Structure 1
């Protein structure tokens, strides 16, 4: 049991669970009957900005919990945290930007390190290698991206 895989599991599940506490209220706001109170960005409407944020924060976090398509799942989350830190809170003090920057840091680690051994990504990659004819695991560079 590698310590790095346990650390990636803790980071992935922890950050996904914490982000869901931000995403689920936004999801409820999206489906409520009251007018959307959300900042519009890049010329998009408040509603469309909210939809994109919900997709990233809720569905990206669900993928992270499972460790499924981890590197792809963190890309919209990275973008969302960049927008939050650099646009939404641009005039605010660092203390207001700090949560977005902390999430961003963890998402960047997961983007570069991958999901680790304890993930659906790893199981799928392992299964794909077993199905391929007579190919050595060490010669397959695609496995390295999930470890």
Structure 2
């Protein structure tokens, strides 16, 4: 079951190129967010929101793992679908908990990431990925 979840779907080459551009582009943008959080955390700033009640520091670390670590995995196309799950969860928290009272102006950014992550979850990483080489 797990191998079937991780295995890329065979797509037309033009779609594989589109998936590659989408996967790398959106992940580079998220990587910037994650890197900023990582450098702040390593610099000693451990104050962060606790939107789901697990503590500020753990919430911060999980967000860094998703935004920075999972973005690297998605760029490489390595365990892509599994790496997208924490990113999707993080965007759901951002949209529906952190920015819930702020309205669509603040939610729009998270929604943009969420829609792309869901699309990538459905298509998989495409032919130009480490997953494709691993699960031939």
Is the TM-score greater than 0.5?
yes
Q: Does 1:26 align with 2:37?
A: yes
Deviation at 1:16, TM superposition (A): 0.7
Structure 2 match to 1:122:
132
Deviations 1:91-141, CA, capped at 9 Å, x for gaps: 002011001000000000111110000100001111xxxxxxxxxxxxxxx
Deviation at 1:41, TM superposition (A): 2.1
Helix, strand or coil: the match of 1:95?
Answer: helix
Q: Does 1:51 align with 2:40?
A: no
Trace 1:36-115 onto structure 2 (pairs within 5 A).
36-115=46-125
Determine the C-alpha separation between the residues in 1 that align with 2:97 and 2:103. Answer: 13
Deviation at 1:37, TM superposition (A): 2.7
Deviation at 1:33, TM superposition (A): 2.3
Coordinate RMSD, CA, aligned: 1.0
Helix, strand or coil: the match of 2:102?
Answer: coil
Structure 1 match to 2:19:
8
Helix, strand or coil: the match of 1:65?
Answer: helix
Structure 1 segments of 4+ aligned residues over 4 angstroms from their partners: none
Determine the C-alpha separation between the residues in 2 that align with 1:122 and 1:33. Answer: 39
Q: Work out the number of aligned pairs and report it.
A: 125
TM-score of the pair, normalised by structure 1: 0.82
Helix, strand or coil: the match of 2:101?
Answer: coil
TM-score of the pair, normalised by structure 2: 0.89
Determine the C-alpha separation between the residues in 2 that align with 1:9 and 1:106. Answer: 12
